Structures are given as structure tokens and as C-alpha cells.
Amino acid sequence: MKSHAKAVVIGGGVVGCSVLYHLARAGWTDVMLIERSELTSGSSWHAAGGFHTLNGDPNVAKLQAYTVQLYKELEELSGQSCSLHLTGGVMLADSPERMDFLRLAHAKGRYLGMDTELITPSEAKAMFPLMDESHFVGAMWDPVEGHLDPSCTTHAYAKAARKLGAEIVLRNRVVDLTQEPDGTWNVVTEQGTVKAEHVVNCGGLWAREVGRMVGVELPLLAMEHMYLLTEPMPEVEAFNKETGREMVGVLDFKGEIYTRQERNGVLLGTYEKACKPWSPVNTPWDFGHELLIPDLDRIAPSLEVGFRHFPGIANAGIKQVINGPFTFAPDGNPLVGPVQGLTNFWCACAVMAGFSQGGGVGLALSNWMVNGDPGFDVWGMDVARFGEWASLRYTNAKVRENYSRRFSIRFPNEELPAARPAQTTPLYDTMVASNAVMGDSWGLETPLWFAPKGTEPKDIVSFHRSNDFGPIGEEVRAVRERVGVTEIANFAKYEVSGPGAEAFLNRLMTNRMPKVGRIVLTPMLNEFGKLIGDFTIAHAGDDRFMVWSSSAAQKYHMRWFEKHLPGDGSVRIHRFDQTLVGLSIAGPKAQALLQKLVDVDVSSKAFRFMDFREMAVGGAPAMVNRITYTGDLGYEIWMQPAYQRLVYKAIKEAGAEFGIVDFGMRALLSMRLEKNFPTWFRELRPIYGPFEGGMERFVRLEKNDFIGRDAAAKELEAGPKLKRVSFVVDALDADVMGDEPIWAKVSTDYGTVEKPHGYGAPRFDAKGKEVRVSAADEGASSVRGIVDGDWRVVGWVTSGGYAHYVGQSMAQGYVPAALAGNESDGLFEIEILGKRRPARIKIEPLFDPGGERMRG
Ligand SMILES: Cc1cc2nc3c(=O)[nH]c(=O)nc-3n(C[C@H](O)[C@H](O)[C@H](O)COP(=O)(O)OP(=O)(O)OC[C@H]3O[C@@H](n4cnc5c(N)ncnc54)[C@H](O)[C@@H]3O)c2cc1C
């Protein structure tokens, strides 16, 4: 074993081996993988080996598509077969809601390059004859699904990495990690210490233990998971003989079951409701190539449904039941990236679908380590997306919820209950008493909307407009016509101070820093000129700036700030989290209301739009920003939590004469739609440039040399490829939810959406006859799904909903820049739940286009 390496990867499961391979492929050949036992000794060896592309997050779906594509290349490079079976798969819908879910997934697949197709239950049966089609209303076919041999695949990564120069050390546990003052890691192993610049935690079942070596409690938990293998089945053998091919994979949401052919029988696995964590606090180091005791009673309810849906399987003999543990993060997606607060300590763990995601995780992480950027939008798997509230117990509750809902529909207006409330503001009880429907905003309870008195404060979950529609409309109209108050504690808040603070912020942000007492809005870019943040910054006093941004991005942003902090101690950053809370008042009477609460002049002359001032509000020391996300006359008032009840009470009492109402996050989001305001993580993400995102007003290329300036200048010079636009949509009873394809009546291929890629997967007709067999057909079918007569998919929706004050259904999304200025009727359609609805671009906001209301 060598004593130095550029990077040490801890763990030889499929993820560690993929990371090692990708690092070596990216040019870091001085890399080493250290494995406690043999390769695959964690969860990798007993996986069912299934893979698919579909994921709720389109960006994670892309990385899954990459993983599947990689296998052929990997086999060639390593000389090791992965035993790939690219059978394709069907997802079965048993209800209209599930069919809506499939329609959404299919529509999303259009711009992601997925080649899915909605089919009938009989067509599905032609591919999987063991099912009883009478239980289903429809299905979705995905040609890019299949299964492989988990052990062979892990070894294929390892062999390919070795060929590129990487070293793999087996039977050697990493027992400790320490760091030298110069940042060098000491990787202390049973066989000695290795010095490394970078350490990657790919510890799988032991990733928590590896995290604890550096003082980090990673939010992941292993769950027991069972699948069974049947004896050979004559029906399977007959199908294979008759058609000359293997049966496809099947996902039955209702039965919480996945099943597929395995040799001449089937494999059937289930994500049961009565799920069970494994080793909830510590994973024993001596757990090896062993299985857990099966517990068929636990999965009996799923099996009962499954056997009804697949009577062919009910009669088969069970050969073996596998029960093994594997890890999940609270939301089921991996934990990838550098850990905030540490230098060069990386994670690639909680990968619950290593054979769908392992390749993409390896690619993104290696890009990140070698080039400083993952090269993709990996927010959905970024380890920074969880805050301190994601404790061991939080994780336990959420992982169990996530596991037991793995095949349940998550509706766009659905808030999940586990591990809540986690954090609350002092107003929590007041909000609940006011009939607020609360939501979870980065671990903080936040009012979403207020149910009418006498009704249950609860969302009726749906893909369509629901019971919040009327009350949100009332809240919006009350704000726009009178005044409203809402909690805004769910923003990120920082103080950046010290003699170097202004220069530091000027280096990070695209906008020039404001004068004392003034506020600016500013994006933040990475070196590649892509959007990595959107901030409101107030110059609070000499060398002191108050900074606000998206709550969920707190760790993500702190990681970036820390990376760029000058080493001379001239800049201090304080993250307030919930030690600073806020209330926002907005509406035409907001100024008169504020005036009643303060002892200074807050007229529009004395306290202008985009001013910042410290003042006592309702008797409490506060910081006040003259700005709100409603796009109306309004203020954000920030205070210590101890004063929040006092300020709220004062606002409500003083506001009574103006008819003040409480409004929630959903009304706020509705109001921002009619102002064309973007949101972070929907419209603004690291895949877009500032000019694509319509942020040009906040980019000062002529100021000092900020990070990403050259790339942004190039984007401007070349002209952005895409443009963010707002649409009015002729929606029926459902508004856009995000990720819908945007169709345009154009003959030009703008190259803005991916071409469907079936990877030469087989396709079958309703009789089970294969109609496409090879990649040679790709040319002919390359536009299938994204071109329809005169129409073609040119872009995608990022978010939207109903803009209640202007009474229009609205959407925001990205389209080719050449189309972004065209407000014509009949040019665009947006696909909502499988139906294409006419849509028109609106360049000017529908509410107060001149901004007179905001300026007051
Ligand atoms: C029953 C079952 C069925 C599954 N089916 C599928 C499926 O069909 N498709 C799919 O994609 N996924 C499936 N999975 C999940 C899949 O197994 C995991 O996603 C995958 O194994 C995760 O790999 P990993 O490399 O992250 O972790 P692991 O496989 O757990 O590997 C971690 C490795 O790190 C080593 N290690 C840990 N700590 C140290 C240390 N301190 N020093 C040295 N070495 C260390 C361990 O020995 C281990 O080898 C299934 C899992 C189970 C249990």
C-alpha cells in the first residue's frame, strides 16, 4: 500500500468503485480505494440489480440515464461483463390519479430525452404475461430499464479504474481520519496511514461511522429490504420460447412491487408499509457478506395485492427470500459533494439505487473534485441540502416515511407529516390557532395558507386545483386591495462584516454593493458563469452587510462563502438561521400601517423603495427592508425571535383599521407570478446563465472582477441560448406544477431539448411482437415524442400556478431565446396532465408593470 495519494476513496461498493473509476478517467490516476473487506461487502452484493432512468428530479434522471449508458463502455474498457439485460420496463397505473402521475412523468421525459410511451394494460400484458390486466387503467413503457449482475458491475468499475492506474487495497479498514494544519488528510488504516489531499466517504452501510470520524452526522439510515426468487415457471419458459425474448420489468405502484424475470422464474421485491430500519444508530463493523432473516409477514399485505395482480406468480414456488440492508437519505436521493465546514472531505453515500445512479454519482463527484464543479445541476443529491435539523431521529422518521411511500404519489400540494414539527417560530401556536395549513420549509414550520374558520386546516391533495384555491384568492385580493402580514422566517439570513466585507461581496456577487442604508438584488455565479445564488443585500453600516437568500440553500451557500473567504481574517460571516425571524407586511395600506408602528418618518420620501433602516417596530428593535416579494408596496421586518410575538400583535392591532389579513407562502408565490419574479431552485439554478435567467439588470460586468464575470461576458456576447419567460396559460382545472414540456408551432429545431434515446432497446406492439430491435432505428425515431406535425417541444416549465389577482393561470419556463420575444397567440402550448393547453408569452408583468406600487 502506498503512503500518499491525491485522493483516497473509502469503500469498495458499487459507488466507491464508480467514484474511483471516474476520478482516474478524469486524470487523477494517483487515487486509491480502501475496502474493509472484499469489494461489494456492503449492500452491493445482494442487490436485485435493477436499473431505470425515471426519477422525480429531472436532473437526477439525467444522471441515471448516464449510468445506464455507461455500462456498455465499462464492459469494453474493463473486459468484464456486467451481465446486462436491457429488457425495458412498464409502470402500471391502477387509478386515474396514478395515470395522471404517469402522464406527468411521460411529459417530463419528452424534454429529458427519455423515450417513454403511454400504453394500455393489454399492451403491458403482452410484455409481461403473468399479470391480470383488469386491475389496471394504463401503463407507461420505458425502454431504458433492465437488470444486471451487481457483483460483476462493481468489479467492472474496479477493473476499469485499475487499468487507468488506480490502486485498490482490500481487507483494510479505515479506522480514523485526522487533518494536518495544511489540510492534508491522514487516513489511518489497519495497515498504516495514507496521506491524502482528498478523502471520499463511500462507506455505504458504514457511511455514518466514516462521517463521525470527522465529526459529521450524515442524515442516512439503512432499511431492511426483501425480494424473493421463484422456482422455474412454465409460463416464463413458454413466453421466452414463443417470443424469443425475456419478459420486461414491471413496477406495480398499488402492490408496492417490482418484478421481473430472473433466469426462468421471476424476482419480486416490495417496499412494504411496515418497513424496518436496520442498525438505527451504529452499523457493526463485523457485518459482512451476510443476509438478514426474512420476515414474510411484514411483506404479506403487498404480496397479497401482488399475487392478485400477477396470478401467474401466485402459483409459483418460492426458491429463496433475500433480506438485506441498504441506505437512504430522508428524501431518498443520494448525499453527494463536499461537506460544508470541512476542506476536501467529500461524500458519495446514501445511494439507494446504486445500479441506476452509481455512474452519475461518480461522474458528478469526480467533475466536482477535479474541475471544482459537478458539471450538472446536482442540487437534488447535494449533501448540503440538509440542515442541522436532520438529526439521527429526524432521519429515522423521514427515511421510514420515504421508504413506505416509495411507490405512493406525492401530489404537488402535499406536505408529508413525519418528523414534524421540527423547528417552529414563536408564532407557531398563533398561526395554528388561526387555522393555518403549515408546511415544512427547510425544517421550519411555515404557514402556507389559512383555511376558513370552521373548516379543517388541511390540503385535499390533488394534481388539480384544490381546497386552497378559494382561500388563497381571498388572501391575495386582501393584500392587493388592503394589507396583509406573513411570516418570512424561512429565508436564509447572514451578516457579512469586517474590513474586507465589501470587497468580498463584490468579488462574489454580480451587482455592485449598495451605499449604507440601501439594498441591492444580486445573483451569484460560479466560475462557469452559471447561477448559484440570488441574494438581497443591505449595507447595514460601516463594514456590515445583511444578506438574505433562499432558506434551503444555506449550507450550499455557506460552503461557497467559506471556500472564498480571504485567509487574513478580514471577513466574518454569521449565519442566523432561526436566531433572526421576520414578518412581511404588504399592500397599498402597508405604509400607513408601518407609520403607526414606528416613531420615525417612513413616508416614501424619507424611506424609499430599496432602503434599509434599523428602527423600533411596535416597540421592538428591528431591521426593516423596504421591499417585498409580493411586488407590492411593502416591508420586511427582521427581529430576534423574542420580539416576534410583540411585533406581530402590534401589526395586527394597528392593521385592524385597514382590514389586515394573514397570508401564507402560497399567496406570496401567487403574487410573484403576476410580477414575473423568479424563484431560486426553480427558475434560477446552476444550469442557467444570468442572461438566460433574465437577471441582466443585476449584472454589472463593468465593475470589479467578480467570479464568473468572463463567462457571463461571453454569454452576453454570444447571446443566451435560452430565455426565461412568463406565460399565461389557458388552463382548465389544473395549473402547471413544473417540468411540463413547452410546445411551439415552429419548423426550426433549436436544439434546446434532448433527443429521445432508446439506446436501441426493444419495442413491442400490443401482441408482444418486437417492432424495434436496434440502435439503427434511432435515426428514424429520433424525434418521436418531441415533434408532432407542425409542433415541437422547445422548452420546459420551471414553475407556475394561478395568479389570483389578475385571474390568470401562469407559468414560467425556458424557451429558445429566438422565441422569447414573441407574444403571439397560437405559438405555444403547455402540456398539463397530458393535455396541451394554449399559452402566450407575457413580457411585461400582468400586475403593476411599471412598478409604481412597489415604489409607492
Ligand atoms: C435487497 C436489496 C435489493 C436491492 N436492489 C437494488 C436494485 O435492484 N437496483 C439498485 O440500483 N440498487 C438496489 N439495491 C441498493 C444497492 O445495493 C445500493 O444502492 C448500493 O449497494 C450502494 O452501494 P454503496 O457502494 O454506496 O454501498 P455499499 O455496497 O454498502 O459499500 C460500502 C463499502 O464500504 C466499505 N467500508 C465502509 N466503511 C469502511 C471503512 N471504514 N474502511 C474501509 N471500507 C469501508 C464496506 O465494506 C462496503 O464494501 C438493493 C439493496 C438491497 C439490500
Sign of the alpha-carbon dihedral angle for 199, 205, 206, 208: positive
Tell whether ligand 1 has an atom less than 6 A from the beta carbon of residue 13. yes
Give the residue among 235, 94, 83, 77 at the shortest CA–CA distance from 146: 83
Residue nearest atom 51 of ligand 1, based on CA coordinates: 47
Instruction: Give the model's pLDDT for residue 175.
Output: 98
Give the residue among 202, 219, 409 at the shortest CA–CA distance from 328: 219
Instruction: Give the model's pLDDT for residue 758.
Output: 52
Query: Residue 628 — very low, low, confident or very high, per pLDDT cuts 50/70/90?
Result: very high
Q: Rounded CA gap, 522 and 695, in Å?
A: 8
Q: Which of 186, 355, 381 maximizes ligand 1 atoms within 8 Å of its Cβ, making it the mutation to test the pocket?
A: 355
Contacts for 160 with CB less than 8 Å, ≥ 6 apart: 21, 24, 25, 74, 77, 78, 80
Instruction: Please report, rounded to a whole number, the percentage of residues in the chain having pLDDT higher than 70.
Output: 96
Ligand 1 atom closest to the CA of 147, numbered from 1: 8
Tell whether ligand 1 has an atom less than 6 A from the beta carbon of residue 153. no
CA–centroid distance, 468 to ligand 1, in Å, is: 43
CA–centroid distance, 205 to ligand 1, in Å, is: 6
CA–centroid distance, 51 to ligand 1, in Å, is: 15
Residue nearest atom 53 of ligand 1, based on CA coordinates: 324
Give 777 or 597, the one with higher predicted confidence.
597
pTM score, two decimals?
0.95
Helix residue spans in 176-295 (DSSP H): 207-212, 234-243
Query: Residue 111 — very low, low, confident or very high, per pLDDT cuts 50/70/90?
Result: confident
Instruction: Give the model's pLDDT for residue 856.
Output: 81
Ligand 1 atom closest to the CA of 173, numbered from 1: 42
Give 786 or 586, the one with higher predicted confidence.
586
CA–centroid distance, 528 to ligand 1, in Å, is: 34
Q: Do residues 157 and 74 make contact, with C-beta atoms less than 8 angstroms apart?
A: yes
Ligand 1 atom closest to the CA of 353, numbered from 1: 11
Q: Do residues 787 and 691 make contact, with C-beta atoms less than 8 angstroms apart?
A: no
Tell whether ligand 1 has an atom less than 6 A from the beta carbon of residue 213. no
Instruction: Give the model's pLDDT for residue 53.
Output: 85
Ligand 1 atom closest to the CA of 324, numbered from 1: 53
Tell whether ligand 1 has an atom less than 6 A from the beta carbon of residue 328. no
Tell whether ligand 1 has an atom less than 6 A from the beta carbon of residue 67. no
Tell whether ligand 1 has an atom less than 6 A from the beta carbon of residue 128. no
Instruction: Give the model's pLDDT for residue 65.
Output: 85
Ligand 1 atom closest to the CA of 172, numbered from 1: 43
Rg of the chain's alpha carbons, rounded to an integer?
28
Instruction: Give the model's pLDDT for residue 756.
Output: 63
Give 325 or 759, the one with higher predicted confidence.
325
**CA angle, 538 as apex, 535 and 544 as ends, to 5°?**
115
Q: Kindly state the average pLDDT of the residues 635-661.
A: 98
Q: Kindly state the average pLDDT of the residues 618-623.
A: 98
Query: Residue 784 — very low, low, confident or very high, per pLDDT cuts 50/70/90?
Result: low
Tell whether ligand 1 has an atom less than 6 A from the beta carbon of residue 109. no
Q: Rounded CA gap, 392 and 398, in Å?
A: 10
Judge whether residue 354 has pLDDT over 90.
Answer: yes
Tell whether ligand 1 has an atom less than 6 A from the beta carbon of residue 203. yes
Q: Rounded CA gap, 558 and 368, in Å?
A: 17
Q: Which of 21, 22, 32, 44 maximizes ligand 1 atoms within 8 Å of its Cβ, making it the mutation to test the pocket?
A: 44
- In three state form, how does the secondary structure of 731-770 look? CCCCCCCCCCEEEEECCCCCCCCCCCCCCCCCEECCCCCE
Instruction: Give the model's pLDDT for residue 113.
Output: 77
Burial (Cβ within 10 Å: 0-12, 13-18, ≥19) of residue 629? buried
Strand order across the beta sheet in which 661-662 lies: 612-617, 620-625, 634-639, 581-586, 484-487, 661-662
Instruction: Give the model's pLDDT for residue 769.
Output: 52
Query: Residue 561 — very low, low, confident or very high, per pLDDT cuts 50/70/90?
Result: very high
Residue nearest atom 52 of ligand 1, based on CA coordinates: 47
Judge whether residue 777 has pLDDT over 70.
Answer: no
- CA terminus-to-terminus distance, the chain: 70
The mean pLDDT value of the chain amounts to 94
Ligand 1 atom closest to the CA of 40, numbered from 1: 49
**CA angle, 166 as apex, 28 and 48 as ends, to 5°?**
110
Tell whether ligand 1 has an atom less than 6 A from the beta carbon of residue 403. no
Q: What is the number of helices (H) and of strands (E) in the chain?
A: 21, 41
Ligand 1 atom closest to the CA of 225, numbered from 1: 1
Residue nearest atom 10 of ligand 1, based on CA coordinates: 353
CA–centroid distance, 265 to ligand 1, in Å, is: 25
Tell whether ligand 1 has an atom less than 6 A from the beta carbon of residue 229. no
Q: Do residues 183 and 388 make contact, with C-beta atoms less than 8 angstroms apart?
A: no
pLDDT tens-digit series, residues 53-64: 888 788 888 888
Tell whether ligand 1 has an atom less than 6 A from the beta carbon of residue 202. yes
Residue nearest atom 32 of ligand 1, based on CA coordinates: 204
Residue nearest atom 48 of ligand 1, based on CA coordinates: 42
Tell whether ligand 1 has an atom less than 6 A from the beta carbon of residue 351. yes
